[in-house]
Amino acid sequence: MSEKFDVIVVGAGPSGNAAAYTAAKAGLSVLQIERGEYPGSKNVQGAILYANALEQIIPDFRDDAPLERRIIEQRMWVLDEQSFVGTHFRSDDYNKPPYNRYTIIRAQFDKWFSSKVKEAGALVICETTVDCLLLDGDQVVGVRCDRQGGEVYADVVILADGVNSTLARKAGFHPEIQSKNVALAVKEIHFMPQETIEARFNVKDEEGVVIEMFGKITDGLMGTGFLYTNRDSITVGVGCMLSDFKANPNRTAPYAMLEKMKAHPSIAPLLAGGEMKEYCAHLIPEGGFHAVPKVFGNGWMIVGDSGGFVNATHREGSNLAMTTGRLAAETAIAAKAAGKGFKAKQLAGYKAALDDSFVMKDLHKYRDMPNVFHDNSQFFTTYPELVNRAAQTEPVRIFVFEA
């Protein structure tokens, strides 16, 4: 472990894998350290994979990536206790290659992505936790791991260690994460025969459906639910802002919220007969534009959830993670080529590239959305109730425009 690398990447989720792959493919010496038993073993996502971010890194990923179903139909439901009002958008355009989004199971997907990282030439070490960054004055020069003699050095350390980035906090790059900037989500995977899924959702072969939901299911808390079709399983979950869970007078627990959601008369039949084999809970950084911290400095860059790069309005995180990972690696590659060192000045191109990408442009566009929803809890109480009541009592009038 005493060797020196060009780049050390901490974490093997989508952001870390994108960074390690891009840097290794360009010929840099890369060490990637992951605390899980294998990449993906600790990772949680819905999960929808938006193809374009990965396409820019591995253009032919469709040839061998473990993809579950391509999404051809998107449903949006506003739920009351007993009913829902919804929109369904389905298009055969989504059945024409190249398909633009897929459901995935992260444990398999991250493992596959990591195999590409190794093929590109990076050294990947699992079951190893990075305890802290090594500093020479204010320059990050490496990391210390929980292995004997576990000090290892690099010109640049890329922090891809996820939402609760203890390393950035310990080094003073981040303040403590605030509960108003993170959502707590729980999800389950229910297995059932492929034919059952295809009959229930009116799809065939590798076609899939996603349902995004909000309304009374979150007990007045700011949050959403989701249900995604995989090949032979269904993922179902719900998440709300952590500060709302804390302040909620009913003290609703996340798992109780999910149980209630699964029992909803419109959701229960979709899950009936399935065998639940996986349950997990995870934080999602949903503070948006205003919560993005400083993301580079002397010898370090922050990517993915660790930098708060999630667009909650679009329900996207993994593609922002992969794009930020790629841009950080490209910055390290350019700094190495320039040969002028790895101080903040040489790594500032990372922030400029982020600002120029969809990542910061989208986060900026939706910068006020978290507050709009948070300050107007009627989106999760009164409005769903009114819409559903109107549909029930005035079914024709609300859907027909008067001449």
Ligand X SMILES: Cc1cc2nc3c(=O)[nH]c(=O)nc-3n(C[C@H](O)[C@H](O)[C@H](O)COP(=O)(O)OP(=O)(O)OC[C@H]3O[C@@H](n4cnc5c(N)ncnc54)[C@H](O)[C@@H]3O)c2cc1C
Q: How far is the CB of 82 from ligand X (least distance, A)?
A: 26
Residues contributing to the site for ligand X (CB under 6 A): 10-16, 33-36, 42-48, 129-130, 160-162, 167, 185, 187, 237, 239, 282, 284, 304-306, 310, 315-319, 321
User: What are the helix and strand counts (H, E) for the chain?
Assistant: 14, 17
- Residue closer to ligand X (CB basis): 330 or 385: 330
Alpha helices in 231-340 (DSSP H): 242-247, 254-262, 268-271, 318-338
Q: CA-to-CA distance for 20 and 16, rounded, in angstroms? A: 6
Spell out a b/e string for 107-143, using b for 16 or more CB atoms within 10 Å of the CB, else e: bebbebbbebbeebbbbbbeebbbeebbeeeebbbbb
Residue 16 vs 288, nearer CB to ligand X: 16
Q: What's the N-to-C CA distance of the chain in angstroms?
A: 75
- Between 129 and 196, CB nearer to ligand X: 129
The residue (of 78 and 160) whose beta carbon lies closer to ligand X is: 160
Q: Classify the C-alpha dihedral 334-336-339-343 as positive or negative.
A: positive
Nearer residue to ligand X within complex by CB, 80 or 286: 286
CB of 362 to ligand X, least distance (A): 12
Q: From the CB of 232, what's the least distance to ligand X, in Å?
A: 19
Those residues whose C-beta lies under 8 Å from the C-beta of residue 3, and which sit 6 or more positions away, are: 31, 152, 153
What the block records as the tokens of 354 is 């982020």
Q: What is the closest distance, in whole angstroms, from the C-beta atom of residue 324 to ligand X in the complex?
A: 8
Residue closer to ligand X (CB basis): 165 or 298: 165
Q: Which helix (H) or strand (E) holds 235?
A: strand 233-241
CB of 309 to ligand X, least distance (A): 7
Pick 237 or 297: Cβ nearer ligand X: 237
One-letter amino acid at 15 equals: S
- Angstrom distance (rounded) from CA 33 to CA 53: 23
> Nearer Cβ to ligand X, position 227 or 387?
227
CB of 387 to ligand X, least distance (A): 25
Run of H or E including 360:
helix 358-365
Burial class (CB in 10 A: 0-12, 13-18, 19+), 341: middle
Q: How many residues does the chain have?
A: 403
- Cβ-Cβ contacts under 8 Å for 290 (sequence gap 6 or more): 367
Query: Taking the complex as a whole, how short is the minimal distance between the CB of residue 77 and ligand X, in angstroms?
Result: 16
Question: Minimum distance from CB of 103 to ligand X (Å)?
Answer: 8
Rounded CA separation 305/283 (Å): 10
